[in-house]
Structure 1
Amino acid sequence: MRTHTGEKTFKCDQCDYSTARKDSLDQHLAKHTGDKPYICGECGYRTVKRSHLSKRIRTHTGEKPYKCDQCDYSAAQKINLDRHLAKHTGDKPYMCGECGYRTARKSYLVNHMRIHTGEKPYKCDQCDYSAPLKSTLKQHLAKHTGDKPYMCGECGYRTTHKSNLSRHMKTHTGEKPYKCDQCDYSAGRKYALDKHCKTHR
């Protein structure tokens, strides 16, 4: 009944957190104690919540119980299925108040807003570079380390960026997905199509 009345009788003695359920308080208290009683036997991963352990185990077993009813997609976690379903419905509930950009994911909107605010929270610890996205900082850090994790199996070409490898692979496959809508020209890279399109103007 407490969930209906809003009464939160279980209170944390270390901060101002309170809840209607004892199990929720127990999980919260683990944040203060660092206690992680649920352990994965495969990899040693430890967690506060049993549900987190269940998700982790699915990554080892490959189990994907969440099925899309509109295609053959399946997921190990419900949140991934929910994101996938948005592709079918076209539902984009998160909107930017500045420019009207809409997205299915809240995290995408948070990242987008940094275009307007100029916020760059991800700082390089080796120079004064900062980035709006964690992935962008990771790409930058590769310049310091010289790490090139993406390799072409055909010729051994290596790169820091996955997108560069995808572009490179088209040189082997001959794939030209960028088509001109005014003639028969097609290109392997978008910038080449853009350059070509200027000849029609």
Structure 2
Amino acid sequence: METTGHGSPIEQNWCSGSPTEDSHVDCDSKTSNAGDQAAAQVNLDNAGEKPYMCGKCGYRATLKSTLSQHMRTHTGEKPYKCDQCSYSSAQQSSLNLHLSKHSGEKPYICGECGYRTAMRSNLSQHMRTHTGVKPYKCDRCDYSAAHKTTFNQHLAKHTGQKPYMCGECGYRTASRSHLSRHISIHTGEKPYKCDLCDYSAAQKSDLVVHLSKHTGEKPYICGECGYRTTQKVTLSRHMRAHTSEKTYKCDQCSYSTASKSILTQHMKIHTEAP
């Protein structure tokens, strides 16, 4: 099935977005039953097919609404406006998260460590740092992930698909969040503001690290020794001390280490004059 340049599906063996063979809907009939078409769409979704395709980059989606959201990465459209400041967003969920900065409300609390957030989905993701649950399984290898965004990035290694593209320089990525971070290079925008001081950041992760200086919060915990940190990546580095995984290898000798910074220090032995 092909689409127009605007991402709208062109009917090709389809009727109102549902397959004629599976739904048994008469595509020539102007009075086909809407309920049958809806049921056919559910069957289509369950089958894992993605009939809606972006004419710009080939991204495919199961739902028309998902494709519409994706198209905003190309058009730059941000229809969701904050009524308290100049912030606007391409997605309703992003606006909801932004609004919590004005209200300060964080009703969702972790019973393990006291972490608070404005969104239930964020709390669910956070809880996996305690439980170790990784519900997203790759059907092509044994990889699993705690977060859907991380899982989607992994899938791109198999498919090579990079649906998110920068309109300024053509940079492509498998992750919407990576594109947002990249675009800030062009705009210089720092939309993430600290409400306790005048600090601002281009990336949410940088703001989270900064906020920990005010709150002292360290939500990522090592199950082996109780070590706590503000960043997931720091916890991952720490865990290598327990697993003895030494992923950073010197290309000039047999030395290896679990820490990139330690490898950098080691490399000075080879590069610096005696």
Q: Does 1:171 align with 2:241?
A: yes
CA distance in structure 1 between the partners assigned to 2:259 and 2:186 by the alignment: 29
**Paired residues of 2:166 and 2:172 also in contact (CA < 8 A):** yes
Give 1:193 deviation, angstroms: 1.3
In the other structure, the counterpart of 1:191 is 261
Task: Describe the shift of the 1:195–1:96 C-alpha distance in structure 2 as closer, same or farther (beyond 3 A).
Answer: farther
Instruction: Give 3-state SS (helix, strand or coil) of 1:127's partner.
Output: coil
Query: Structure 1 residues 85 and 130 mapped into 2: Cα distance closer, same or farther (>3 Å)?
Result: same
Gaps of 5+ in 1: 5-20, 22-58
Alpha-carbon distance in structure 2 between the residues aligned to 1:81 and 1:173: 23
Q: Distance in 2 between matches of 1:122 and 1:104?
A: 23
Relative to structure 1, is the Cα distance of residues 121 and 89 closer, same or farther in structure 2, using a 3 angstrom cutoff?
same
**C-alpha deviation, 1:175, in angstroms:** 2.2
- Equivalent in the alignment of 1:52: none
* Cα offset, 1:140, TM superposition: 1.6
1:133-184, CA deviations, whole angstroms, 9 ceiling, x for partnerless residues?
A: 2232222212111111222233222222222222222223322110112210
Q: How many corresponding residue pairs?
A: 142
| Residues 198 and 98 of structure 1: CA distance in aligned 2, closer, same or farther (over 3 Å) | farther
Shift of residue 72, structure 1, vs aligned partner: 6.3
* 1:58-108 C-alpha deviation (Å, 9 max, x unpaired): x9xx9x8x9866446799xx9998765432121224343555532123442
Structure 1: distance between partners of 2:224 and 2:199: 34
Give the structure-2-normalised TM-score.
0.42
Matched, 1:131 2:201: yes
Q: Does residue 148 of the first structure (1) align with residue 218 of the second (2)?
A: yes
Gaps of 5+ in 2: 1-8, 11-33, 35-124, 126-132
How many percent identity over aligned positions?
A: 66
Work out whether residues 249 and 256 of structure 2, in 8 Å CA contact, stay in contact via their aligned partners in 1: yes
